[in-house]
Amino acid sequence: MLDSSPKAFIAEPSLLRGHRVLITGAARGLGAEFAKAVIDSGARVVLSDVLLEQGQETARSLGERAHFVPVDLLNSQSTQDMVQAAVDWLGGLDAVVNNAAITNSGGVPMQNLSESVWDDVMAVNVKAPWMVSKFALPHLEKSPNARIVNLSSDTALWGAPNLMAYVASKGAIISMTRSMARELGSKGITVNAIAPGLTLVEATQYVPQHRHDHYMNGRAIPRAQYPQDLASTVLFLLSPASGFITGQVIPVNGGFVMN
Protein backbone atom coordinates (compact mmCIF):
# COMPACT_ATOMS: atom_id res chain seq x y z
CA MET A 1 0.00 0.00 0.00
CA LEU A 2 1.22 3.47 -0.83
CA ASP A 3 2.12 5.56 2.18
CA SER A 4 4.30 8.29 0.72
CA SER A 5 3.29 11.91 0.29
CA PRO A 6 2.72 13.20 -3.24
CA LYS A 7 5.62 14.41 -5.32
CA ALA A 8 6.55 18.04 -4.81
CA PHE A 9 4.11 20.27 -6.66
CA ILE A 10 5.77 22.58 -9.16
CA ALA A 11 3.61 25.45 -10.42
CA GLU A 12 3.98 27.00 -13.86
CA PRO A 13 5.12 30.58 -13.07
CA SER A 14 3.23 32.16 -15.98
CA LEU A 15 -0.06 30.26 -15.65
CA LEU A 16 -1.85 32.97 -13.65
CA ARG A 17 0.49 35.90 -14.26
CA GLY A 18 -1.31 39.16 -13.53
CA HIS A 19 -4.35 37.47 -11.98
CA ARG A 20 -5.83 38.89 -8.79
CA VAL A 21 -7.24 36.27 -6.44
CA LEU A 22 -9.13 36.30 -3.13
CA ILE A 23 -9.02 33.14 -1.00
CA THR A 24 -11.09 32.74 2.18
CA GLY A 25 -10.01 30.55 5.07
CA ALA A 26 -6.41 30.97 3.95
CA ALA A 27 -4.55 31.37 7.25
CA ARG A 28 -3.70 27.68 7.30
CA GLY A 29 -4.52 24.29 5.80
CA LEU A 30 -5.99 24.04 2.31
CA GLY A 31 -6.41 27.80 1.91
CA ALA A 32 -2.76 28.48 2.68
CA GLU A 33 -1.68 25.76 0.26
CA PHE A 34 -3.92 27.21 -2.45
CA ALA A 35 -2.49 30.68 -1.84
CA LYS A 36 1.07 29.40 -2.22
CA ALA A 37 0.26 27.56 -5.46
CA VAL A 38 -1.56 30.56 -6.92
CA ILE A 39 1.31 32.90 -6.04
CA ASP A 40 3.85 30.45 -7.47
CA SER A 41 1.79 30.56 -10.67
CA GLY A 42 2.24 34.31 -11.02
CA ALA A 43 -0.84 35.76 -9.31
CA ARG A 44 -1.27 38.26 -6.50
CA VAL A 45 -3.41 37.00 -3.64
CA VAL A 46 -5.40 38.33 -0.73
CA LEU A 47 -5.75 35.79 2.06
CA SER A 48 -8.69 36.26 4.42
CA ASP A 49 -9.48 34.51 7.67
CA VAL A 50 -10.76 35.08 11.18
CA LEU A 51 -7.37 33.87 12.49
CA LEU A 52 -5.57 37.22 12.59
CA GLU A 53 -2.03 36.39 13.74
CA GLN A 54 -1.79 33.14 11.81
CA GLY A 55 -3.14 34.80 8.68
CA GLN A 56 -0.65 37.64 8.92
CA GLU A 57 2.22 35.19 9.39
CA THR A 58 1.13 33.07 6.43
CA ALA A 59 0.90 36.14 4.20
CA ARG A 60 4.37 37.31 5.30
CA SER A 61 5.80 33.88 4.50
CA LEU A 62 4.40 34.07 0.97
CA GLY A 63 6.11 37.33 0.08
CA GLU A 64 5.15 40.64 -1.44
CA ARG A 65 2.44 39.23 -3.72
CA ALA A 66 0.41 38.13 -0.70
CA HIS A 67 -1.69 40.30 1.60
CA PHE A 68 -3.88 39.38 4.57
CA VAL A 69 -7.28 40.85 5.37
CA PRO A 70 -9.14 39.69 8.52
CA VAL A 71 -12.81 38.81 8.28
CA ASP A 72 -15.68 37.51 10.37
CA LEU A 73 -17.75 35.58 7.87
CA LEU A 74 -20.63 35.45 10.34
CA ASN A 75 -20.97 39.21 9.87
CA SER A 76 -22.23 40.62 6.58
CA GLN A 77 -20.58 44.02 6.99
CA SER A 78 -17.23 42.44 7.86
CA THR A 79 -17.52 40.25 4.76
CA GLN A 80 -18.33 43.20 2.52
CA ASP A 81 -15.48 45.24 4.01
CA MET A 82 -13.08 42.34 3.44
CA VAL A 83 -13.99 42.05 -0.24
CA GLN A 84 -13.58 45.79 -0.72
CA ALA A 85 -10.20 45.76 1.05
CA ALA A 86 -9.09 42.90 -1.20
CA VAL A 87 -10.15 44.80 -4.32
CA ASP A 88 -8.40 47.94 -3.09
CA TRP A 89 -5.11 46.13 -2.51
CA LEU A 90 -5.27 44.04 -5.69
CA GLY A 91 -6.56 46.83 -7.90
CA GLY A 92 -9.44 44.66 -9.07
CA LEU A 93 -10.47 41.04 -8.86
CA ASP A 94 -10.26 38.08 -11.23
CA ALA A 95 -11.09 35.13 -9.00
CA VAL A 96 -12.56 34.05 -5.68
CA VAL A 97 -11.83 30.76 -3.95
CA ASN A 98 -14.50 30.14 -1.30
CA ASN A 99 -12.50 27.82 0.91
CA ALA A 100 -13.47 28.84 4.47
CA ALA A 101 -15.54 26.28 6.36
CA ILE A 102 -16.17 24.83 9.80
CA THR A 103 -17.20 21.34 10.85
CA ASN A 104 -18.32 21.62 14.50
CA SER A 105 -20.63 18.61 14.26
CA GLY A 106 -18.13 15.78 13.84
CA GLY A 107 -19.15 12.54 15.54
CA VAL A 108 -22.55 13.88 16.64
CA PRO A 109 -25.69 11.87 15.71
CA MET A 110 -28.43 13.97 14.15
CA GLN A 111 -30.68 13.71 17.22
CA ASN A 112 -27.93 15.27 19.36
CA LEU A 113 -27.06 18.05 16.92
CA SER A 114 -27.84 21.45 18.42
CA GLU A 115 -29.65 24.18 16.57
CA SER A 116 -26.84 26.64 17.27
CA VAL A 117 -24.22 24.37 15.72
CA TRP A 118 -26.42 23.81 12.67
CA ASP A 119 -26.91 27.56 12.26
CA ASP A 120 -23.19 28.34 12.61
CA VAL A 121 -22.15 25.67 10.09
CA MET A 122 -24.72 26.86 7.57
CA ALA A 123 -23.73 30.50 8.10
CA VAL A 124 -20.02 29.93 7.47
CA ASN A 125 -20.20 27.11 4.92
CA VAL A 126 -23.17 28.23 2.79
CA LYS A 127 -24.24 31.79 3.50
CA ALA A 128 -20.70 33.17 3.55
CA PRO A 129 -19.66 31.86 0.10
CA TRP A 130 -22.83 33.40 -1.31
CA MET A 131 -22.09 36.73 0.39
CA VAL A 132 -18.44 36.78 -0.68
CA SER A 133 -19.46 36.00 -4.26
CA LYS A 134 -22.24 38.58 -4.16
CA PHE A 135 -19.94 41.36 -2.98
CA ALA A 136 -17.22 40.27 -5.42
CA LEU A 137 -19.56 40.12 -8.41
CA PRO A 138 -19.37 43.79 -9.55
CA HIS A 139 -15.58 43.46 -9.66
CA LEU A 140 -15.50 40.02 -11.29
CA GLU A 141 -17.73 41.31 -14.07
CA LYS A 142 -14.88 43.60 -15.15
CA SER A 143 -12.41 40.72 -15.53
CA PRO A 144 -11.85 38.85 -18.83
CA ASN A 145 -10.99 35.65 -16.89
CA ALA A 146 -13.44 35.74 -13.98
CA ARG A 147 -13.60 32.60 -11.85
CA ILE A 148 -15.37 31.41 -8.71
CA VAL A 149 -14.20 28.16 -7.14
CA ASN A 150 -16.23 26.76 -4.24
CA LEU A 151 -15.02 24.06 -1.86
CA SER A 152 -17.50 21.26 -1.29
CA SER A 153 -16.60 17.82 0.12
CA ASP A 154 -16.89 14.25 -1.06
CA THR A 155 -18.91 13.60 2.12
CA ALA A 156 -21.79 15.27 0.28
CA LEU A 157 -21.48 12.66 -2.47
CA TRP A 158 -21.66 9.58 -0.25
CA GLY A 159 -23.46 10.83 2.87
CA ALA A 160 -21.03 10.53 5.78
CA PRO A 161 -22.86 9.64 9.02
CA ASN A 162 -22.75 11.67 12.24
CA LEU A 163 -21.67 14.76 10.34
CA MET A 164 -25.05 15.99 9.18
CA ALA A 165 -24.67 19.77 9.40
CA TYR A 166 -21.35 19.70 7.56
CA VAL A 167 -22.54 17.22 4.92
CA ALA A 168 -25.73 19.21 4.34
CA SER A 169 -23.74 22.42 3.97
CA LYS A 170 -21.39 20.88 1.44
CA GLY A 171 -24.33 19.47 -0.50
CA ALA A 172 -25.76 22.98 -0.57
CA ILE A 173 -22.47 24.23 -2.03
CA ILE A 174 -22.89 21.82 -4.95
CA SER A 175 -26.40 23.08 -5.69
CA MET A 176 -25.37 26.70 -5.21
CA THR A 177 -22.42 26.23 -7.58
CA ARG A 178 -24.72 24.99 -10.33
CA SER A 179 -27.22 27.79 -9.81
CA MET A 180 -24.49 30.42 -9.76
CA ALA A 181 -22.99 28.96 -12.93
CA ARG A 182 -26.34 29.31 -14.73
CA GLU A 183 -26.75 32.90 -13.56
CA LEU A 184 -23.22 34.11 -14.17
CA GLY A 185 -22.24 32.33 -17.37
CA SER A 186 -23.63 35.12 -19.55
CA LYS A 187 -21.42 37.53 -17.61
CA GLY A 188 -18.32 35.53 -18.56
CA ILE A 189 -17.85 34.14 -15.05
CA THR A 190 -17.29 30.42 -14.52
CA VAL A 191 -18.32 28.78 -11.25
CA ASN A 192 -17.10 25.31 -10.29
CA ALA A 193 -16.67 23.26 -7.13
CA ILE A 194 -14.04 20.88 -5.82
CA ALA A 195 -15.05 18.00 -3.54
CA PRO A 196 -11.96 16.91 -1.57
CA GLY A 197 -11.67 13.72 0.38
CA LEU A 198 -10.37 13.61 3.94
CA THR A 199 -7.15 15.62 3.76
CA LEU A 200 -4.28 15.76 6.22
CA VAL A 201 -4.49 19.30 7.57
CA GLU A 202 -4.55 20.80 11.05
CA ALA A 203 -8.36 20.73 11.15
CA THR A 204 -8.49 16.93 10.59
CA GLN A 205 -5.88 15.92 13.15
CA TYR A 206 -8.67 15.09 15.60
CA VAL A 207 -10.38 12.66 13.23
CA PRO A 208 -9.93 9.14 14.68
CA GLN A 209 -7.23 7.07 12.99
CA HIS A 210 -9.71 4.39 11.97
CA ARG A 211 -11.56 6.99 9.87
CA HIS A 212 -8.33 7.98 8.13
CA ASP A 213 -7.64 4.28 7.51
CA HIS A 214 -11.16 3.78 6.16
CA TYR A 215 -10.65 6.54 3.61
CA MET A 216 -7.17 5.44 2.62
CA ASN A 217 -8.15 1.79 2.17
CA GLY A 218 -11.18 2.74 0.09
CA ARG A 219 -9.27 4.85 -2.41
CA ALA A 220 -8.26 3.61 -5.81
CA ILE A 221 -4.94 5.33 -5.01
CA PRO A 222 -4.44 3.89 -1.51
CA ARG A 223 -2.57 6.60 0.36
CA ALA A 224 -3.26 9.61 2.55
CA GLN A 225 -4.46 12.82 0.92
CA TYR A 226 -2.46 16.04 1.28
CA PRO A 227 -3.32 19.69 0.58
CA GLN A 228 -1.03 19.78 -2.45
CA ASP A 229 -3.15 17.04 -4.02
CA LEU A 230 -5.81 19.70 -4.54
CA ALA A 231 -3.65 22.61 -5.65
CA SER A 232 -3.37 21.65 -9.32
CA THR A 233 -7.16 21.39 -9.63
CA VAL A 234 -7.60 24.86 -8.13
CA LEU A 235 -5.01 26.26 -10.55
CA PHE A 236 -6.71 24.60 -13.51
CA LEU A 237 -10.11 26.02 -12.58
CA LEU A 238 -8.63 29.50 -12.16
CA SER A 239 -6.69 29.36 -15.43
CA PRO A 240 -7.71 30.24 -19.00
CA ALA A 241 -7.60 26.50 -19.78
CA SER A 242 -10.91 26.00 -17.95
CA GLY A 243 -12.75 28.83 -19.68
CA PHE A 244 -15.55 26.63 -21.08
CA ILE A 245 -16.04 24.55 -17.91
CA THR A 246 -18.70 25.72 -15.47
CA GLY A 247 -21.23 24.27 -13.05
CA GLN A 248 -19.08 21.20 -12.45
CA VAL A 249 -18.16 19.36 -9.25
CA ILE A 250 -14.75 17.69 -9.33
CA PRO A 251 -14.07 15.06 -6.67
CA VAL A 252 -10.38 15.03 -5.73
CA ASN A 253 -10.07 12.08 -3.37
CA GLY A 254 -7.89 9.39 -4.93
CA GLY A 255 -10.94 7.57 -6.24
CA PHE A 256 -12.78 7.06 -2.94
CA VAL A 257 -15.86 8.49 -4.65
CA MET A 258 -16.10 8.41 -8.43
CA ASN A 259 -18.63 10.95 -9.68
Q: What angle do CA 204, 210, 215 make, to 5 degrees?
A: 70
Active site positions, annotated: 166
30, 230 Cβ separation under 8 angstroms: yes
Q: Give the end-to-end CA distance of the chain in Å, rounded to a whole number.
A: 24
- For residues 181 and 165, what is the distance between their CA atoms, to the nearest angstrom? 24
Which helix (H) or strand (E) segment is 192 a member of?
A: strand 190-196
Beta bridge partners of 21: 45, 95
Residues 76, 172, 21, 50, Cα dihedral to 10°:
50
- For residues 178 and 78, what is the distance between their CA atoms, to the nearest angstrom? 26
Q: Which among 206, 218, 132 is positioned nearest to 173, based on CA atoms?
A: 132
